[in-house]
Amino acid sequence: MRKHIEGFIQQLEDAFSIGEKSAFSIPDKKLNNVLILGVGGSGIGGTVVAKTALLGAGIPVMTCNDYHIPEYVDENTLVIACSYSGNTEETLTALKKCQNKGTEIAAVTSGGELKRICEEHNYNHIIIPGGNPPRTCLGYSLTEQFFILIKYKILPEAAVEELKSAIQLLKENESSIIEEAKTLADNLFGKLPVIYSTDKFEPVSIRFRQQLNENSKELCWHQKFPEMNHNEIVGWASGNSNLSVVMFRNHDDYYRTQERMEFMKKVILDKGSTVTEIHSKGNSFIEKALYLIYLTDWASLFIAEKKEIDPVEIRVIDALKDHLATIK
């Protein structure tokens, strides 16, 4: 796992090159919305891209992490199917339903059934290198989905420059990111992590939660501001010293939300728990998001190493897949 995280910046650069070289045939029809299919390690890229697109696209961009698709999907929907292996059953099932509705389809995959379907139906698709755990290939899936949205003119060309800037930001701050990740891991080790962010940065929280689940073999949860101030804040009345909170902060968070976070920090500390604030760097959303993701990916690895466990191992997921294979 260490080599995968160490290679994240290079992966982004490789993915950028693949995206630039990919050739698409774009239909002459109006697209009213976008649906991104994907689950788990193949789905998190779409979660980040969807939030990015909502900030810069002129049409709705949603994600689907299930077998079922929304009723609004029709021939004027762009569907982006992302399955690293190409054989993710939820994604393939949802894709079949999209095909039946005559949607415009594009895909990101390393091969498998999804690649076969794309070649059979002449769907636009981007092939990425295979053979790795899906969660280690976020740089590929995220970047190629960016390029798909740009090629369909759903995101502006400026998004390419923001992605370039994000890669440069990680290069310039790599050493300090790793050091901060070590501190975060120390603060979370032996505790139950609780992850808080603004609504805008919930994709970062989701990624960190998933990395703690898979790499660190930890249960945890995440919530977002201001929503949690209307419910979860009351749950802190009982207090729990075994909890350790991570707050993702950004210099341009809405001022009233920042006041909410400051108030919440005092509540948590008064109840005997700890709070670690992680401040992003960068200007655009994708710069800040990738900065925080890279930092927390490292933290999940450091916790696994402190626990002396294998961060790659996912036997329980494999067991579930074996069980589902017995069901027709």
Catalytic residue numbers, as ranges? 214, 230, 321
Task: Give dist(CA 22, CA 228) in Å, integer.
Answer: 42
Residue 143 and residue 19 in contact, taking contact as beta carbons nearer than 8 Å: yes
Q: Specify the pairing of strand 104-109 against strand 192-198.
A: unpaired
Task: Give dist(CA 124, CA 3) in Å, integer.
Answer: 31
Nearest to 65 by CA among 45, 8, 55, 158: 45
Nearest to 305 by CA among 176, 137, 171, 188: 188
Question: Residue 149 burial by CB count (10 A; 0-12/13-18/19+): exposed, middle or buried?
Answer: buried
3-state SS assignment for residue 168: helix
Other Cβ atoms closer than 10 A to 142: 27
Query: Which tokens hold the place of 140?
Result: 């590929």
Task: Give dist(CA 133, CA 148) in Å, integer.
Answer: 23
Helices of type H across 131-201: 138-151, 158-188
Task: Please report, in angstroms and rounded to a whole number, the separation of the first and last CA atoms in the chain.
Answer: 34
- Please give the torsion angle defined by the CA atoms of residues 159, 165, 167 and 169, in that order, rounded to the nearest 10 degrees: -140
Residues linked to residue 249 through DSSP beta bridges, in sequence order = 279
Can you give the C-alpha Rg of the chain in angstroms? Answer: 20
